[in-house]
Structure formats: C-alpha cells, structure tokens
Amino acid sequence: MLRRKIMPFLMTFGMFLGLGKISKVLALDPFDGCGGINSATPKINTALGCIPVEMGAFVTWLLPVLFGIAGGIAFLLMVYGFILMTMSKGDPKAVQGAQETITSAITGLLISLFALFLLRLITVNILHIPGIN
C-alpha cells in the first residue's frame, strides 16, 4: 500500500530532475531482501540493514544499537582517560583531569545500564507492553 503511493512519486521526481540513473535506483523495491512487505514483520532495506517498519519491532531493533553505541563511547572515553593518565608525567592537574574523564565514562556507562534496566522493568514486567522483550 505504502509502496504504491511512494514509488510513482519518487520515479516522477527523479525523471523530472533528469536523473535517469537515480530514477532507476529509486525504481528498485526497498522491501526486497528483507522478507517482503507482506511478511509477518515488514522491514525496509536501508544502508543500516533491514529496519522494521512497525513501532514495537523498531524499538526492539533500536535499543541494542543505542546501548551498544553508548557502551562503545564509554569504553573509548576510558581508554582516552587511561592514556591521559600515563602521559601526565606526574602533573597533579593532568592526573586529576584523567581521573575525572575515567569517572565520567564509568558513570555514563552505569546510567546507561540503569536506564536499560528501568526500561525493561517498566515496559515488560509492569505494563506488559507487547513486542518488547
């Protein structure tokens, strides 16, 4: 249904601009390769992979990605703080700045994990929202 409304618009827009190659790319079905639009959980094929279209499945797909990014940033900040500490050469201000960087990274990671715990507690155990496991 959505495909029938959007695809002609995209093809017309691409031809209007004289972008023949782009209009051919836009003519490809974005739902191909992801289980199709008529599957149990429809997904759309993007540069990030197959992303679910329905809200519950999208949130289930998005949460691990966001918390993975948060964990990666916290890890990189801890490594940066440890590098600052080794490069401080005993300077008390540099050591204090490195300790604050490491403490901030660990605090951010703990807040992220606590937020995940609260989200699951509220949505799964208390409200019983379907689609979020």
Cα–Cα nearest to 38, from 53, 58, 55: 53
Per the model's pLDDT, the better-predicted residue between 62 and 82 turns out to be 82
Listed by start position, the domains of the chain span 2-52, 55-126
Total residue length of the chain: 133
Mean pLDDT score, 24-49:
66
Is there a contact between 37 and 31 (Cβ–Cβ < 8 Å)?
yes
Residues 55, 32, 35: CA angle, nearest 5 degrees: 55
Note the pLDDT tens digit of each residue in 80-89: 999 999 999 9
User: Would you state the pLDDT for residue 40?
Assistant: 73
Q: What's the mean pLDDT when you consider all of the chain?
A: 78
What values do phi and psi take at 46, rounded to 5?
-125, -175
